[in-house]
């Protein structure tokens, strides 16, 4: 048996395992995490935004990817869109402290100080200093 044959056989088995059973969900979660990591590493905001758009299609219920979406909007100063994405991340994972802190930061920038304090307090409940 050649290396190529073994490689194709391994790939075929891997695809079958991914397509059926409880492993499919675990594999998808791992793929979403890998997408989030690659998005975080990308330095170009334009490339990052395109990667996020594609990642959301594949992983619409991934809090980390939604957080990255919010962060990219925040960097573009599209604060309403950023807050919407951060809130989506929180709805997926209510314990996602960074999303609360990020909304708090935006509330500070937009001079909504009471709201900012509220979000900072919520973030601290999930990630004490």
Q: What is the pLDDT of residues 48-75, one digit of tens each?
A: 999 999 999 999 999 999 999 999 999 9
* Interatomic CA distance for residues 17 and 95, integer angstroms: 31
Q: So what's the pLDDT on residue 12?
A: 40
* Interatomic CA distance for residues 97 and 41, integer angstroms: 21
- Tell me how far apart the terminal alpha carbons of the chain are, to the nearest angstrom: 57
14: CATH: 1.25.40.10
How many domains are contained in the chain?
A: 1
Q: How confident is the model at residue 2 (pLDDT cuts 50, 70, 90)?
A: low
Range of the domain at 56: 3-126
């Amino acid at each position: 048996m050649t290396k190529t044959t073994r490689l194709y056989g391994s790939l075929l088995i891997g695809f079958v395992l991914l397509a059926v059973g409880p492993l499919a969900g675990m594999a998808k979660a791992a793929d979403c995490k890998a997408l989030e990591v690659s998005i975080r590493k990308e330095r170009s905001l334009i490339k990052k935004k395109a990667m996020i758009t594609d990642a959301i299609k594949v992983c619409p219920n991934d809090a980390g990817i939604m957080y990255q979406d919010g962060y990219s909007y925040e960097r573009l100063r599209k604060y309403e869109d950023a807050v919407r994405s951060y809130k989506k991340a929180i709805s997926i994972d209510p314990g996602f402290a960074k999303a609360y802190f990020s909304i708090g930061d935006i509330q500070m920038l937009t001079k909504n100080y009471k709201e900012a304090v509220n979000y900072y307090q919520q973030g601290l409940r999930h990630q004490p200093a």
